């Protein structure tokens, strides 16, 4: 079979390291001038009109855009498999018979569940009580609807209940989720904790050895900076960037919180985050822990259980079915 992969980013790299590690790839497709990726040629989409192919595996977060581009180029959609970033209301896969020839049954079920979850939701038009509704047209709102929608509703509870405190995110990356926090809580101090340079090297090495991530995953999170994050913040004057390794970056900070997002992927970092933030979370406040239901980042659940065991407590927590599975903790 002539198998092409549309995408040369992190998603494609992870797919090659995991689900396609024993599959021969003919070449890659991308809207770029790059000519080579992973030792294989890279073609622009329009070049595919003159190529023979049996399968095109779409491995980017822009599945909807690629679907439309492929249709405009009159490419054979029945030969496409959309495996990543396909959290949309219509299943773009023509059928799963083709996927069954490439992927194992467990991964096909993951693809199917993405569509079932989205189709079962009702997108209402409730607006949160803030300085305006959140931007529902952004890529993150569409691709991770459950997390953003849950955040909207949680924010209403915090503000309606008069919960005091600052807000924060530990593990900011490029600020895609932090901008929602900053806009919603525009009158509160918003602390952003991150190295803005990637993971703690020693922890990344340990997680890789444990089989919880690969090189592509680790490299991805180096592509950011304080400046890039601040550029997309709606209310930058309320932002306090705490750059460096956590908890060293706290530098003696003492504050209380109404909302905290913890998205640092690895066990020790998440555990350190809980140790600091949960005791300082005001009653009625919330903590989101991202990747709780990730199939690869097993340390996330370990960190939660470790915190509960060491403190002889059971956290009030609810997992939600968003992209990678967030755990919602409240007091």
What DSSP line would sit under 271-284, residue for residue? HHHHHHHGGGEEEE
> Both tokens of residue 42?
């890279």
Helices (H), the chain: 10-17, 63-72, 105-119, 139-143, 145-160, 178-184, 201-209, 215-220, 226-231, 267-277, 299-310
Strand arrangement, sheet containing 327-330: 239-243, 190-194, 166-170, 257-262, 281-289, 327-330, 316-319
In degrees and rounded to multiples of 5, residue 195 shows phi and psi of -75, -25
Is the pLDDT confidence value at 15 over 80?
Answer: yes
Q: State pTM to two decimals.
A: 0.64
* Per-residue pLDDT tens digits for 150-167: 999 999 999 999 999 999
* Model pLDDT, residue 132: 43
Confidence of residue 257 (pLDDT cuts 50, 70, 90): very high
CA distance 241 to 196: 10
Provide the b/e sequence for 195-224 (b: ≥16 CB within 10 Å).
Answer: bbebbbeebbeebeeeebbbebbbebbeeb
The answer to whether the peptide bond before residue 223 is cis (omega within 30 degrees of 0) is no
Confidence of residue 143 (pLDDT cuts 50, 70, 90): low
Is the pLDDT confidence value at 39 over 60?
Answer: yes
Nearest to 243 by CA among 258, 228, 232: 228
* Per-residue pLDDT tens digits for 223-241: 789 999 999 999 999 999 9
Contact 28, 41 (CB under 8 A): yes
CA distance 264 to 169: 10
Is the pLDDT confidence value at 209 over 60?
Answer: yes
Is the pLDDT confidence value at 206 over 80?
Answer: no
Name the CA dihedral angle for 7, 134, 151, 227, rounded to a multiple of 10 degrees.
60
Confidence of residue 145 (pLDDT cuts 50, 70, 90): confident
Contact 237, 217 (CB under 8 A): no
Angle at 174 between CA 168 and CA 177, to 5 degrees: 50
Confidence of residue 216 (pLDDT cuts 50, 70, 90): low
């Amino acid at each position: 079979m002539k198998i092409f992969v549309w995408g040369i980013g992190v998603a494609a790299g992870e797919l090659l390291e995991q689900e396609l590690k024993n599959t021969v790839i003919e070449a890659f497709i991308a809207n770029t001038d790059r000519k080579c990726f992973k030792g294989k040629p890279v073609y622009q989409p329009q070049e595919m009109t003159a190529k023979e192919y049996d399968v095109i595996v779409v491995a980017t977060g822009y599945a909807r855009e690629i679907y439309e581009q492929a249709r405009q180029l009159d490419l054979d959609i029945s030969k496409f498999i959309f495996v990543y970033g396909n959290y949309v209301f219509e299943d773009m896969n023509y059928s799963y018979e083709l996927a069954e020839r490439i992927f194992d049954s467990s991964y096909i079920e993951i693809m199917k569940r993405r569509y079932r979850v989205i189709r079962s939701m009702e997108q209402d038009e409730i607006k949160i009580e803030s300085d305006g509704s959140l931007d529902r047209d952004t890529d993150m709102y569409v691709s991770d609807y459950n997390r953003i929608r849950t955040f909207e509703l949680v924010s209403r509870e915090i503000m309606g209940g008069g919960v005091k405190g600052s807000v924060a995110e530990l593990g900011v990356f490029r600020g895609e989720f932090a901008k929602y926090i900053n806009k919603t809580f525009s009158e509160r101090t918003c602390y952003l904790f991150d190295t803005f340079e990637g993971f703690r090297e020693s922890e990344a090495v340990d997680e890789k050895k444990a089989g919880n991530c690969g090189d592509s995953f680790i490299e991805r999170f180096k592509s950011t900076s304080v400046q890039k994050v601040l550029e997309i913040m709606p209310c930058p004057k309320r932002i306090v960037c705490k750059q460096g390794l956590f908890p060293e970056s706290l530098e003696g900070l003492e504050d209380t919180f109404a909302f905290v997002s913890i998205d640092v992927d690895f066990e020790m970092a998440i555990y350190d985050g809980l140790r600091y933030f949960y005791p300082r979370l005001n009653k009625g406040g919330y903590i989101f822990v991202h990747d709780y239901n990730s199939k690869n980042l097993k340390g996330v659940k370990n960190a939660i259980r470790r915190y509960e065991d060491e403190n002889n407590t059971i956290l009030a927590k609810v997992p939600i079915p968003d992209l990678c599975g967030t755990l919602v903790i409240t007091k």
